[in-house]
Amino acid sequence: MHGERPARILLVDDEQSIQTLLAFPLQRDGYEVVAAADGQEALERFGAENFDLVVLDVMLPRVDGLEVCRRLRSRSAVPIIMLTARAEEIDKVVGLELGADDYITKPFSLREFSSRVRAVLRRAEMVRAADSGASPERLSIGELRVDLLKRTARLAGTDVPLTFVEFEILAILAQSPGRVFTRDMLLAKIWGDSAYRDPRTIDVHIRHLREKLERDPKAPAYLFTVRGVGYRFRDDAEAG
């Protein structure tokens, strides 16, 4: 629940049977579900109403799901879960690169689907709760400034647009400089567990973060890979 109202979910899929199948567990869990059958309708509904989560199929008529994701992300930080029937890794990677927060490959169980939705909404609710009454917390590392309360990042005085998950990863790592986090640890911290998720999801988000934060992503100054283990943020000794 979000304040005094249930979370509102925009469910975008062109197959009526999938709409019905997925809407049932969401409504049973107390969420308000608004359906859209194609990408253009999804964009119009999103522009006219407020939503807490978008569940978005990749294969859509009129405007495909990846383009819808790109357009939504250009104007909103709303959490987005992509649905894909394709087995190819490229769909998942492209969806994450465009700013999706999570993806599910069809076929999937309703239990898995419900778990993903609850985890994304729970994390977003935790962020909102942290925003109320907490004193502003800011991190300053080299040219990077991270405001944990406002969820903003600036590099050399320029705002860096980050997706929901990108900011979560940056905040987790930057608050524990030098500490190594495995992919499963990051998955669990962001979504509450690492069930049903490919650890390589983290790799994609890290790569995207580096492209936004590092002058040379191949020779990072902030986000370091610990081979065979995971990732860490630079510590004081490396701050230079």
Q: How far is CA 136 from the centre of its chain?
A: 23
pLDDT for position 128: 62
pLDDT for position 135: 44
Per-residue pLDDT of the chain (240 residues; tens, 9 = 90+): 555 688 999 999 999 999 999 999 999 999 999 999 999 999 999 999 999 999 999 889 999 998 999 899 888 878 899 898 766 666 666 777 777 888 888 888 888 888 888 888 877 776 665 555 544 478 888 899 998 877 889 999 999 988 878 888 999 999 899 999 999 899 888 776 666 667 788 898 899 899 999 999 889 999 999 998 999 999 865 554
Q: Tell me the sheet residues that pair with 122.
A: none
Contact partners, residue 216, CB within 8 Å, separation at least 6: none
Question: Where do the domains of the chain lie, and which CATH numbers do they carry?
Answer: 8-131 (3.40.50.2300), 138-238 (1.10.10.10)
Asked if 78 and 54 touch (Cβ cutoff 8 Å), the reply is yes
**Number of helices followed by number of strands (H, E) in the chain:** 8, 12
Query: Cα(197)–Cα(120) distance, rounded to whole angstroms?
Result: 13
In eight-state DSSP terms, residue 52 is: S
How buried is 141 (Cβ within 10 angstroms: 0-12 exposed, 13-18 middle, 19+ buried)?
Answer: middle
pLDDT for position 3: 52
pLDDT for position 48: 93
pLDDT for position 162: 86
pLDDT for position 134: 47
In eight-state DSSP terms, residue 222 is: S
**Global confidence as pTM:** 0.63
pLDDT for position 22: 93
pLDDT for position 172: 92
